[in-house]
Chains A and B, each alone.
Chain A
Amino acid sequence: MIFEKRTERILVPMFFMVALFVPLFLESNSFFVGKVTTIIILSIFVMSLDFLVGRVGLITLGHALFYGLGGYLFVILSPEYEAVNFWVYTFYICGIAALIALVTGAVVLRTTGIYFIMITLAISQMMFYYFFDSLEFGGDDGVFIFMKPETSIFGLSFLNLDDPQHFYYLALFSLFNTLVFFKVVLRSRFGRIVEATKQNPDRTEALGYNIFAFRLTCYVIGSTLGAYAGFLFALQYGFVNPSFLAWEMSGTALVMSILGGLGTIYGAILGTFTYEGLQYFFEHLTEDWLLFMGSAIILMVIVLRKGIAGYLEKLLEK
């Protein structure tokens, strides 16, 4: 069983069962389906960050770099007025993002602690300003994606990305796979050494493990999935702009991850939905929603020391 905790075994099936039926109840309200789709995509991004920060111990402030790259890579690679194949381009984008993560990771992972935070931030800001000032990618306005990809496999197509409901299920399916994937990886022998490295890096190295190689592998995995989430987000809204890879994006994702329960993986879903839910609520309540939003988050972090997942685990585990 890859879900070791009772809380996971209760919450995860519950979430996906409910999520499976959301579009059926909200058939008439395509705005809401779109909103939930966005949160689901964001959850994938937050989950990949939660893996890196909470499980591998790599506190990155540059994760949004890959979120933005997911979108921009699609714009760079695909022809403007022609529908390309979704699966093929997912493969391309993830492949190139993985390569970029491999190269940047080999540099940033030579540092640790505060220096790691600063250098990841620096690299992502570098890319932010590159796209912000670039003429061919629309500068700060970004670029529109006119043609959504088609999704046929061997001539068979069962998914229409222009249909919000179809897109919703694609996002949900991706989230489920991401969750299972991380859980499987963490349960593996590779995951054992990753956890050991986070708990006690010096000892792990003294036991003969090349901890740099383990961290780099994780960095590539996390970054690639972050890019995939960015790709989905760009497709859903049909544009990509530099705000995708701004540091605020990394910071917000970090807050969501901490809110959900750092390192719990499934907590990323809880954190993202709570954060977005609160924001939606306060936005519609008052002009000064940021004030309330901030206070609410500070309060939650103080009361729920180990995030929402940590609180639920305290209630449900025994």
Chain B
Amino acid sequence: MANDIVLETEALSKHWGGIKALNDISLQFRDRQLHGVVGPNGAGKSTLLNMLCGTLKPTSGCIFHKGQRIDTLKPWKFVRRGIGRSFQKTNIYPEVTCLENCAISAQRRFGGNFNLFASRHSNQMVRKAAEQALAQVGLDDRTHTIAAEISYGEQRQLEIAMVLATDPCILLLDEPMAGMGHEESQRIIALLKELKKTYCIVLVEHDMDAIFELSDQLTVLDNGRHLITGTVDEVRADPRVKEAYLGAEEDDAEEQAA
């Protein structure tokens, strides 16, 4: 079981001056599992994700990837170790086609990134990998459309496709369903169900139904503190969670649990 752990944090903290955005977080993320992270606004979910992908350096504590310490590495080295992330706010290349968006992310692992002379279109492997990533999220029919011209929901899908094109083993997804309609959300949920068979996924999401449906493990953060990690049922049953997070919606939560 222990070998399943692909990503691990140990007493991870991030302080901004006196404010403890994240305090003493120790978590384990397992392969082929979807690990949900929830918590009220300001709980430190995004801070955690930003540290897991290397863009934010922890104040103290460590991050281990397959047993090796990685928190001191440059952000772009995280991706090379197979840690890919998507963004809460759509973060794509709006001026080029969907295929080109994925080609940009796929290209790195095929080498030749500093080849000044060979045409960018000459490498079929990059193209195939990009097409495959688009197909994985169901955007095949948008291959040659400029990214700015597809719908918001589709841009969220493209966002995930770009992460997949980097050939990761760990996906850090920051609210992939933010601002989506019901139908679009369902599509993403179906996609994530499929993806968690092959990847370790860390999912930060506000949509409670979705996260209850998807999570194998669920972590609740509150005010930068680690409240509980467990299965969905364990978390639902925990009185501290109700108090801290679902307090206002206690009746609702109980109804759902029943």
Q: Write the A157-190 contact mask toward B (1 if CB under 8 angstroms, else 0).
A: 0000000000000000000000000001101111
**Nearest CB in chain A: distance from B46 CB, A:** 14
Decide: A209 near B95, CB < 8 A? Known: A189-B120, A189-B126, A191-B120: no
* Contact B92 A200, beta carbon cutoff 8 Å: yes
- Interface status of B113 (Cβ within 8 A of chain A): yes
* Contact A193 B107, beta carbon cutoff 8 Å: yes
Q: Write the A193-229 contact mask toward B (1 if CB under 8 angstroms, else 0).
A: 1011001101111111111010001000000000000
- Interface status of B53 (Cβ within 8 A of chain A): yes
- A195-B96, A206-B87, A209-B108 given. 13 additional CB < 8 A pairs? A188-B118, A189-B112, A189-B120, A190-B114, A191-B116, A200-B93, A202-B91, A205-B75, A206-B76, A208-B76, A208-B77, A208-B166, A211-B76
Return chain A residues, CB-CB under 8 Å to B53.
Answer: 206
- Interface status of A305 (Cβ within 8 A of chain B): no
- Interface status of A35 (Cβ within 8 A of chain B): no
* Contact B113 A189, beta carbon cutoff 8 Å: yes
* Contact B75 A206, beta carbon cutoff 8 Å: yes
- Interface status of B119 (Cβ within 8 A of chain A): yes
Residues in B lying within 8 Å of A, measured CB to CB = 53, 55, 74-80, 85, 87, 91-96, 100, 103-105, 107-108, 112-120, 123, 126, 162, 166
**Nearest CB in chain B: distance from A139 CB, A:** 40
Distance, CA A192 to CA B106, complexed state (A) = 12
Decide: A189 near B115, CB < 8 A? Known: A207-B162, A210-B76: yes
Residue in contact with A187 in the complex, picked from B78, B107, B119, B126, CB distance below 8 Å: B119
Distance, CA A2 to CA B87, complexed state (A) = 34
Distance, CA A217 to CA B85, complexed state (A) = 27
Return chain B residues, CB-CB under 8 Å to A188.
Answer: 115-120
Return chain B residues, CB-CB under 8 Å to A187.
Answer: 119-120
* Contact A207 B166, beta carbon cutoff 8 Å: yes
Distance, CA A185 to CA B120, complexed state (A) = 10
* Contact B113 A190, beta carbon cutoff 8 Å: yes
* Contact A203 B91, beta carbon cutoff 8 Å: yes
Decide: A217 near B93, CB < 8 A? Known: A189-B107, A208-B166, A209-B76: no
Return chain B residues, CB-CB under 8 Å to A190.
Answer: 113-116
Whose C-beta in chain B lies nearest to the C-beta of A221?
B116
* Contact B114 A217, beta carbon cutoff 8 Å: yes
**Nearest CB in chain A: distance from B191 CB, A:** 20
* Contact B114 A204, beta carbon cutoff 8 Å: no
**Nearest CB in chain B: distance from A216 CB, A:** 11
* Contact B108 A208, beta carbon cutoff 8 Å: yes
Decide: A196 near B93, CB < 8 A? Known: A206-B79, A210-B76: yes
